[in-house]
């Protein structure tokens, strides 16, 4: 596991020239026309030999920016650079698992001390007060009645003594990463993705629980609705310099991303967009359209930064001793007649 300019416009002033003629009378010349100010050149992304924008590399999406806008910033979409730095410092202090502050979670409650966590120490060049950019209030929309029911059922499996592995999340079972998705969103650690491209495919390897998506560039239609996959069925295309991935046919329990718990696998359409914004920044956006779960679609924008380090193996595998110990503890609680919930 790894812990990982305007060029100001130059205004050229027109200078009026005065010429002294031989007859002695002064005649003012017409001032020269002002030249237009030079424009800053748009950054052009590097390209592969086949002409596609080069998005390859290891990209980190750790950030101090919250997924949804906090209540105390409800009317503020953007922070100033100074406010963003102060806010990130505050978030880092509150997340510190080695702290014993009044509002901090201790390392005992959090399972690990602070060394093992990598949630981001800055807002990553993003001065927004939330990763959610649509709706404008920075909040995930309300659930439909159907979606609320599924979310409640899903959440009930996160507390109490589990009867079996099926009662625990896919992340705990080492099947799908909490932050690997799709879609990808920051989590406690391992917020890294390695992108590789060919002319016909794009590969996204997430550090968390080694999720790997190999997505082809073609227009084949998705399989029938009854065919569901953990990470859905994805197809890739280019929209100018932006890589677009469209995914359907999710299993209802297929995503590891907490924000999508309770989704309807048969109605969800996920659209992801990747745009190289600068030499060291990849702008990642995803739009969730699931009328069976939320009252309207919603969009997240997440800047990713280029890393010079490789991704190392995250040795999490289904059926490891962590699950065995969890279930053994649950059976011990059953034998003792305990009904107290098990805290994750």
Which residues face 47 on adjacent strands? 53
41 located within any domain: no
According to the model, what pLDDT value does residue 108 have?
57
Where do runs of H (alpha helix) occur along 194-320? none
Q: How far apart are CA 267 and CA 152, in angstroms?
A: 19
Q: What is the pLDDT of residues 267-276, one digit of tens each?
A: 899 999 999 9
Closest CA to 231 of 251, 215, 246: 251
Neighbour-count burial of 242, counting CB atoms closer than 10 A to its CB (0-12 exposed, 13-18 middle, 19+ buried): middle
16 located within any domain: no
100 located within any domain: yes
Structural domain harbouring 225: 57-321
167 located within any domain: yes
Count CB-CB contacts under 10 A for residue 56: 16
Q: How far apart are CA 52 and CA 3, in angstroms?
A: 31
CA–CA–CA angle 157, 162, 167 (5° rounding)? 45
Q: How far apart are CA 81 and CA 125, in angstroms?
A: 9
112 located within any domain: yes
161 located within any domain: yes
| Two tokens, residue 296 | 């309207």
Q: How far apart are CA 79 and CA 45, in angstroms?
A: 28
CA dihedral 272, 274, 275, 276 (to 10 degrees): 170
Q: How far apart are CA 298 and CA 20, in angstroms?
A: 70
Side-chain-facing half-sphere of 224: CA atoms under 13 Å: 1
Q: How far apart are CA 337 and CA 316, in angstroms?
A: 32
According to the model, what pLDDT value does residue 315 have?
85
- Whether residue 280 contacts residue 200, with contact meaning beta carbons closer than 8 Å, is answered with no
CA 322 from chain center: how many Å?
27
Phi, psi (rounded to 5 degrees) for 23: -75, -10
CA 119 from chain center: how many Å?
12
| Two tokens, residue 13 | 């002033």
28 located within any domain: no
Side-chain-facing half-sphere of 139: CA atoms under 13 Å: 12
Question: pTM score, two decimals?
Answer: 0.81
Q: How many domains does the chain have?
A: 1
SS3 92: helix
Low-confidence ranges of the chain (pLDDT < 70): 1-41, 100-111, 154-160, 253-261, 338-344
27 located within any domain: no
Evaluated on CA atoms 65, 69, 72, 78, the torsion sign reads: positive
């Amino acid at each position: 596991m790894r812990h990982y300019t305007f060029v100001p416009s130059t205004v050229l002033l027109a200078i009026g020239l005065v010429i002294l003629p031989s007859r002695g009378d002064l005649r003012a010349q017409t001032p020269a026309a002002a030249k237009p100010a030079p424009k800053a050149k748009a950054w052009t992304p590097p390209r592969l030999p086949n002409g596609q924008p080069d998005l390859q590399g290891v990209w980190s999406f750790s950030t101090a920016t919250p997924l949804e806008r906090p209540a105390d910033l409800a009317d503020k979409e953007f922070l100033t650079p100074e406010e963003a730095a102060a806010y990130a410092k505050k978030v880092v202090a509150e997340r510190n698992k080695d702290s014993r502050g009044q509002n901090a979670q201790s390392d005992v409650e959090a399972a690990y001390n602070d060394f093992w966590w990598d949630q981001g120490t800055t807002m990553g060049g993003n001065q927004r007060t939330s990763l959610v950019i649509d709706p404008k209030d920075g909040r995930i929309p309300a659930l439909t009645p159907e979606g609320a029911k599924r979310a409640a059922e899903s959440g009930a499996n996160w507390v109490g003594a589990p009867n079996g592995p099926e009662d625990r999340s896919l992340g705990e079972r080492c099947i799908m990463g909490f932050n690997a998705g799709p879609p990808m969103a920051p989590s406690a650690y391992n917020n890294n993705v390695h992108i590789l491209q060919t002319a016909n495919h794009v590969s996204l390897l997430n550090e968390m629980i080694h999720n790997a998506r190999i997505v082809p560039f073609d227009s084949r239609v998705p399989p029938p609705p009854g065919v569901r996959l953990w990470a859905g069925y994805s197809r890739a295309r280019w929209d100018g310099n932006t890589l677009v991935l469209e995914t359907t046919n999710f299993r209802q329990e297929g995503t590891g991303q907490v924000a999508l718990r309770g989704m309807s696998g048969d109605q969800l359409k996920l659209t992801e967009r990747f745009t190289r914004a600068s030499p060291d920044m990849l702008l990642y956006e995803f739009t969730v359209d699931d009328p069976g779960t939320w009252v309207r679609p919603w969009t997240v924008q997440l800047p990713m930064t280029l890393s010079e380090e490789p991704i190392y193996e995250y040795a999490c595998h289904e059926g490891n001793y962590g699950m065995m110990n969890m279930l053994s503890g649950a059976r011990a609680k059953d034998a003792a007649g305990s009904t107290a919930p098990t805290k994750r």
